[in-house]
Structure 1
Amino acid sequence: MKYENILKGKFISRPNRFIAHVEINGKMEICHVKNTGRCKELLTPGAIVFVEENNNPKRKTRFSLIGVIKGERMINMDSQVTNKVIHEWILKGNLITDVTLIKPESKYNNSRFDFYIETKNRKIFIEVKGVTLESEGIVKFPDAPTERGVKHVKELCDCIKDGYEAYIIFVIQMKDVLHFEPNVEMHKEFAEALKKAEKNGVNILAVDCEVKEDSINIRDYVKVVI
C-alpha cells in the first residue's frame, strides 16, 4: 500500500478527533486525522509526523495525517488503510488459499464485516482492527471504549453457529513488537468478548507491518495473548 505526495511536519495540537494543527514547511496547516482513536501517546506536541497532500479543490483540508514517529518507531495511524493491506495480503495468497470470492464490507445480521470470502469448500467472515497503541513492546486494542467492537466480536460468534468460519485480525501498524493483547484496562467488556470468541472458535490473529513514510505492508504474524 503506497501513499503519494508525502510531507514531513511537526505536530502542534489536535482541537478535535478529526483535525490536527501541523507545522509544514514553517507554516501551520490544518490536517485531517485519519484515525478517530485517542492516540494521545502518539500525537504529542513537537512529534514528527507525516502527511499526505491532496490537491482536490473539493476537499476541506489539503493534508491528511497518516504517520508519526514515537521514539525510534515509525507508526502508521491511518485507520482506513488496514483493510487495504489485508485485502492485498490475502490476494497474494496469504492466510486463505484458492479464494474464489472476496467481498469487502459484507453484511451479516446486524453487522457489516470487513470481508466475506469464499473458497471451493469454505465460507469465511473477517473483521479487521488497526492497532497503534504500544508500550514497552506490547501492543493493545482498543485505545478507547468500543461498543461497536464488542458487537462485531459477538456477531462473529454467531457466524460460527451458522456454519461459517470467522476471523478477527489485528493489524499492528508498526513492527518489532513483543505480543498483542486486549486492552483490559481501557475496555474490559471487549477483552471478555474476545476471550469468549476464542473459546467459541473465532480465529484471533495479529500481524505486524513494515511501515515507511510513504507505505505500509504486512510483515509477519505476532503472538496473541488473550
Structure 2
Amino acid sequence: MTDGYGNMRYEQIVYGKFEERCNRFAAHVWIDGRLETVHVKNTGRCRELLFPGADVALELSDNVNRKTKYDLISAYKKSLGWVNIDSQAPNRVMGEWLVRQGYTYVKPEYKYGASRIDFYMEKGKEKYLLEVKGCTLEVEGKGFFPDAPSDRARKHVRELQKAVLEGDHGIVAFVIPMAGVTEVLPNMATDSEFGEALEAAERAGVEIWYMPCNVTENTLSISRKIERKNGFVQ
C-alpha cells in the first residue's frame, strides 16, 4: 500500500535468513526455524544481496490460495542497510511522486511504438515519456544497471530517443531503493549494448534522472530528483 505522502509500506513483515535461490521466481528462506519456499519479487540476479545467511525481510500474503505464503521484498547489506528488491516498487513510488510534480496529466503503461513506456505526462503543451529503471546493484557507493542483460531496457531507451527526435521529452528515471547511492552508471561488463544505447539517447536529448530513496525493510519513498546533463550530475 501507499500512504497519502507517497510512502510505500508493506504490511505483515517477517524476517528470515536467505538459504538459496531455486529459480528466478522462488527461493528457500529460513523463517522461525523452518525452511520456507518464498516468492522472489525480482527476476534479476541480485547475487550481492541474496546469498546464504543474508538477512531478508518478507511480506506475509493474505491470499490463502497461493502456493507460497511469503514475498521476499528486502535484503540487508552491511554497507547500505536495507535494499528493496521488489521490482514493482520503483514504478509505484515513481507514480506517486509524479502526481505531486505539477503535471496536468499522468498516464501509466503508455503504448508508444512497439513498446509500453512506464509513464506518459503532460504539462501545458509539453509531452513527456518516462521509463523507470530500478537499481539494486551497488559497487563502491555507486549504482549500476542492469545486473543482467536486458533486451527490454535497450528497446525502451531507443524508443525514448525516437520520441525526443519527434519533439517530445524523453526521460530515463533510475529509482535507487537503497540508502547512500545517488548515481547510476551503465553496467558495461554485463550489458555494454545498454550502455551504448543510453549514451546515444543522452546525446540525442533524453534526460537521465536519479531518484534516491528513503528505505527501510518495509517502507520506500523517493527523497529527491537528481538530473544528469551532458554527462554530469547537476
- TM-score of Structure 1 vs Structure 2, range by shorter chain: over 0.9
CA, structure 1 residues 137+54, in 2 after alignment: closer, same or farther (shift >3 Å)? same
| Structure 2 counterpart of 1:60, one-letter code | K
Which residue does 2:12 correspond to in 1? 5
Q: 1:182 aligned to 2:189? A: no
What is the 5 A alignment of 1:19-98?
A: 19-73=26-80, 74-93=82-101, 97=102
Do the aligned residues in 2 keep the contact of 1:178 with 1:223 (CA within 8 Å)? no
Residue 151 of structure 1, CA deviation = 0.6
Give the alignment partner of residue 143 of structure 2, picking from 135, 139, 143: 139
Question: What is the count of residue pairs matched by the alignment?
Answer: 222
After superposition, the C-alpha distances for 1:90-115 in whole angstroms (9 at most, x for unaligned) are: 1222xxx2x22111101001010001
Q: Does 1:159 align with 2:163?
A: yes
Deviation of 1:223 (Å): 6.9
Measured on the aligned residues, the alpha-carbon RMSD in Å equals 1.4
Q: 1: distance between equivalents of 2:227 and 2:127?
A: 25
* Aligned-pair CA distance for 1:60: 2.0
How far apart, CA to CA, are the structure 1 residues paired with 2:100 and 2:33?
42
SS at match of 1:205: strand
Q: Secondary structure at the match of 1:16?
A: coil
Q: CA deviation at 1:222?
A: 4.7
Paired position in structure 2 for 1:117 = 121
Q: Shift of residue 214 of structure 1?
A: 1.2
2 CA distance for matches of 1:146 and 1:221?
24
- Aligned-pair CA distance for 1:48: 0.2
* Residues 180 and 223, structure 1, Cα contact 8 Å, conserved in 2: no
**Cα contact 1:102–1:115 (8 A) shared by 2:** yes
| Whole-angstrom distance in 2 between the partners of 1:220 and 1:106 | 24
Task: Indicate if the aligned counterparts of 1:53 and 1:63 stay in contact, CA closer than 8 A.
Answer: yes
Give the TM-score of the pair, scaled to structure 1.
0.94
Q: Which amino acid aligns with 1:79?
A: S
The partner residue of 1:199 within 166, 191, 203 is 203
TM score, norm. by length of structure 2: 0.91
The alpha-carbon deviation at position 173 of structure 1 amounts to 1.1
**CA 1:223–1:42 in structure 2 vs 1: closer, same or farther (change >3 Å)?**
farther
Gaps of 5+ in 2: 1-7
Cα offset, 1:206, TM superposition: 1.0
Percentage identity across aligned positions?
46
